[in-house]
Structure 1
Amino acid sequence: MRVEETKAIAAALGVEVVATRTLAGGFSHETSLLELAGGGAVVARLGGPDPVVEAAVMELGRRHVPVPEVLLVLPSVAGGRPAMVLEHVAGTPLDIVLSDPGAGELRALGVEVGRVVARIGVARFDRPGFFGGPDLAVAAGPPWSEQLPAFAESSMSKVPPSRLDPAVRAAWARLCAAHAPALTGVDERARLVHADINPKNLLVTRAADGWRVDAVLDWEFAYAGCPYGDAANMLRFGADYPAGFTEGFRAGFAAQLPPDLPPDDDWAYLGRVLDMFALTDLVTRPAGHPVADRAAEEIRRWVAAGVPR
Structure 2
Amino acid sequence: MKTGWKRSTPVIIPDNQTLSNMLHSFLLDRGITGVEPIGGGLSNSNIKLSLTNGEDVVLRIYNGGGIKGHIEKRILERVQNHLPVPEVLYHDFSLSRVEYPFLLLNWVEGFQLSELFKEGDTDKLSVAGHEVGRWLAEMHSIQFSGPGFFDEELNVQEFLTIGADSFRSVLEDIISEGYVEENIGSEMVEEIRRFADEQGYLLNRIGEQRSLVHSDFNPLKILVKTGGEEVEVTGILDWEFSFSHSPLHDIGNMLRYEDVENSPFLRPFISSYLKHGGELPAEWLQQAKMMDVIALCDMVSKKGCEKTRLRDIQSLFRKTFREWERYAEVQENIR
Amino acid at match of 1:43: V
Counterpart position of 2:80: 62
1:167 positional shift: 1.5
Amino acid at match of 1:299: F
Gap regions ≥5 residues in structure 1:
none
- The verdict on how the C-alpha distance between 1:291 and 1:119 changes in structure 2, with shifts beyond 3 A counting, is farther
Q: Which one of the candidate residues 14, 17, 23 is aligned to 1:2?
A: 14
Q: Which one of the candidate residues 11, 16, 24 is aligned to 2:39?
A: 24
Kindly indicate whether the alpha-carbon contact (under 8 Å) linking 1:156 and 1:170 is maintained by their aligned counterparts in 2: no
* Cα distance per residue 1:194-241 (max 9 Å; x no partner): 110111100011135721100100001111111122111100111499
Counterpart position of 2:92: 74
Question: Take 2:134 and 2:222, find their aligned partners in 1: how far apart are those partners?
Answer: 13
Amino acid at match of 2:80: R
- The verdict on how the C-alpha distance between 1:170 and 1:12 changes in structure 2, with shifts beyond 3 A counting, is farther
Counterpart position of 2:282: 265
Counterpart position of 1:175: 195
Question: Take 1:9 and 1:223, find their aligned partners in 2: how far apart are those partners?
Answer: 29
SS of alignment partner, residue 189 of structure 1? coil
* Cα distance per residue 1:154-188 (max 9 Å; x no partner): 32242355631102112202312433332233341
Residues paired across the two proteins, number: 305
TM-score for the superposition, normalised by structure 1: 0.89
Amino acid at match of 1:23: I
1:98 aligns with 2:117: yes
Amino acid at match of 1:248: P
Kindly indicate whether the alpha-carbon contact (under 8 Å) linking 2:180 and 2:297 is maintained by their aligned counterparts in 1: no
Amino acid at match of 2:222: L
Amino acid at match of 2:300: V
1:43 aligns with 2:55: no
* Cα distance per residue 1:243-274 (max 9 Å; x no partner): 2123322322232234xx2x353322222222
TM-score for the superposition, normalised by structure 2: 0.82
Kindly indicate whether the alpha-carbon contact (under 8 Å) linking 2:146 and 2:159 is maintained by their aligned counterparts in 1: no
1:254 aligns with 2:266: no
Counterpart position of 2:6: none
Amino acid at match of 2:257: F
User: Once superposed, what is the RMSD of the aligned Cα atoms?
Assistant: 2.6
1:197 aligns with 2:217: yes
Kindly indicate whether the alpha-carbon contact (under 8 Å) linking 2:130 and 2:271 is maintained by their aligned counterparts in 1: yes
Instruction: Write out aligned runs for 1:145-294 (5 A).
Output: 145=163, 146-157=165-176, 158-159=178-179, 163-207=183-227, 210-239=230-259, 243-258=263-278, 261=279, 263-285=280-302, 286-288=304-306, 290-291=308-309, 293-294=311-312
Amino acid at match of 2:101: P
- The verdict on how the C-alpha distance between 1:67 and 1:290 changes in structure 2, with shifts beyond 3 A counting, is farther
SS of alignment partner, residue 233 of structure 2? strand
Percentage of pairs with the same residue: 24
Q: Greater CA deviation, 139-148 or 33-42?
A: 139-148
Gap regions ≥5 residues in structure 2:
1-12, 328-335
